């Protein structure tokens, strides 16, 4: 929280008068089992179906509280933002129908337990990471991303029993450890091709393209007599790394983005960007604004080269998701 700012988040305005009436009582999907079960491909499928059924009930009834109980980590704020937008626009939250999922379930001896689903949602390919952090809890959605246009997902390695392999977050057999990918991406999003991290990542819309977009927004803000600031950071949240058949890794992970806008002169209030307008009580607010986004990605990390080559493989961003979740404003 920044001193002097009022926090307007996806869930902070739940008491406002523009919220929909409380949904009528509707039977919900079957609750999570009371006893804990080992994570297997079979139990993961049951957990996925349980989550999907409850998420659909929440969306069908516009029940934000129920929806949030089936989300975790950065997806909590993303889900709250979806329901907030529905409340502001009067358009019901999007419902999803799912195809038959391919589940990548690692052998995990303790907690947290997690798995990744490769599945179509409303006909669109999606990667969903579900996590269960302690015994007795339910699996909740942590990350949801959609493959980017033209990207090819890697082949995930599985053993004879159908289990995938979870890689260590700082696995030294890879070009970089999975836990470091978000930090490298943040550095390139800040400084573009000039970043020391740029040689490790492929250029594209979610690496150097983010830096280019920030430069354009900075220039546009200057023409409106605004001071523009942009910062990408790697949040301390779970990442989901799976070994690929070539010895590399596909990792799903979060990334945070904050934009600050400040009037140079007192010429009128700021206008909220279109994709964050539902997080504000009015279209135009204050003299300073900070917009926070919970972004989510999947990246393919190649194995560390055994010898020096002319054009080494780079980290490739293959899927993306998330969006604005919070706005802070200062009126004077």
Give the list of residues 6+ apart from residue 288 with CB closer than 8 angstroms, or none.
5, 260, 261, 262, 263, 270, 329, 330
What whole-number percentage of the chain has pLDDT above 70?
Answer: 85
Q: What is the average pLDDT score of the chain?
A: 86
Nearest to 148 by CA among 321, 315, 313: 321
pLDDT digits (tens, 9 = 90+) for 212-229: 999 999 998 888 888 999
221 near 228, Cβ under 8 Å?
yes
More confident: 3 or 69: 69
pLDDT digits (tens, 9 = 90+) for 13-41: 333 333 333 333 333 343 444 457 789 99
The whole-number pLDDT of residue 11 equals 42
Please state the rounded mean pLDDT for residues 235-264. 95
Whats the size of the chain, residue-wise?
A: 332
Q: Model-level pTM?
A: 0.87
Please state the rounded mean pLDDT for residues 108-127. 95
pLDDT digits (tens, 9 = 90+) for 278-320: 777 666 667 788 889 999 999 999 999 887 777 889 999 999 9
pLDDT over 70 (residue 79)? yes
The whole-number pLDDT of residue 21 equals 38
From residue 280, give the alpha-carbon distance in Å to each of 77, 213, 261, 286, 332: 15, 24, 15, 11, 17
**Dihedral sign of CA atoms 206, 212, 216, 222 in order:** positive
pLDDT digits (tens, 9 = 90+) for 258-278: 999 888 876 666 776 777 777
pLDDT over 50 (residue 3)? no
- pLDDT band at 210, cuts 50/70/90? very high
């Amino acid at each position: 929280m920044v001193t002097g700012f009022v926090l307007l988040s996806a869930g902070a305005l739940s008491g406002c008068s523009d919220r929909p009436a409380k949904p009528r009582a509707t039977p919900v999907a079957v609750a999570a089992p009371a006893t804990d079960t080992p994570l297997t491909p079979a139990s993961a499928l049951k957990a996925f179906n349980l989550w999907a059924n409850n998420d659909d009930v929440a969306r069908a009834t516009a029940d934000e509280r129920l929806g949030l109980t089936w989300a975790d980590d950065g997806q909590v704020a993303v889900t709250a933002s979806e329901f907030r937008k529905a409340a502001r626009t009067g358009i019901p939250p999007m419902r999803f129908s799912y195809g038959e999922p391919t589940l990548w379930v690692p052998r995990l001896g303790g907690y947290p337990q997690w798995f990744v689903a490769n599945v179509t949602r409303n006909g669109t390919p999606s990667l969903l990471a579900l996590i269960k952090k302690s015994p007795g809890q339910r699996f909740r959605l942590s990350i949801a991303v959609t493959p980017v246009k033209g990207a090819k997902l890697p082949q995930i390695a599985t053993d004879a029993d159908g289990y995938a392999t979870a890689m260590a977050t700082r696995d030294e057999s890879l070009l970089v450890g999975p836990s470091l990918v978000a930090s490298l991406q943040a550095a390139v999003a800040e400084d573009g091709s000039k970043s020391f991290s740029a040689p490790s990542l492929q250029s594209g819309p979610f690496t150097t393209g983010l830096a280019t977009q920030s430069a354009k927004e900075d220039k546009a803000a200057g023409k409106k007599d605004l001071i523009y600031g942009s910062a990408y950071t790697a949040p301390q949240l779970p990442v989901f790394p799976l070994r690929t058949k070539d010895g590399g890794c596909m990792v799903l992970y979060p990334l945070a983005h904050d934009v600050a806008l400040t009037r140079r002169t007192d010429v009128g209030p700021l206008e909220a960007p279109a994709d964050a307008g539902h997080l504000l009580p009015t279209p135009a607010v204050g003299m300073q604004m900070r917009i926070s986004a919970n972004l989510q990605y999947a990246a393919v990390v190649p194995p560390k080269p055994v010898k020096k080559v002319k054009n080494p493989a780079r980290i490739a961003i293959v899927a993306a998701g998330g969006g604005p979740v919070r706005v802070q404003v200062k009126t004077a």
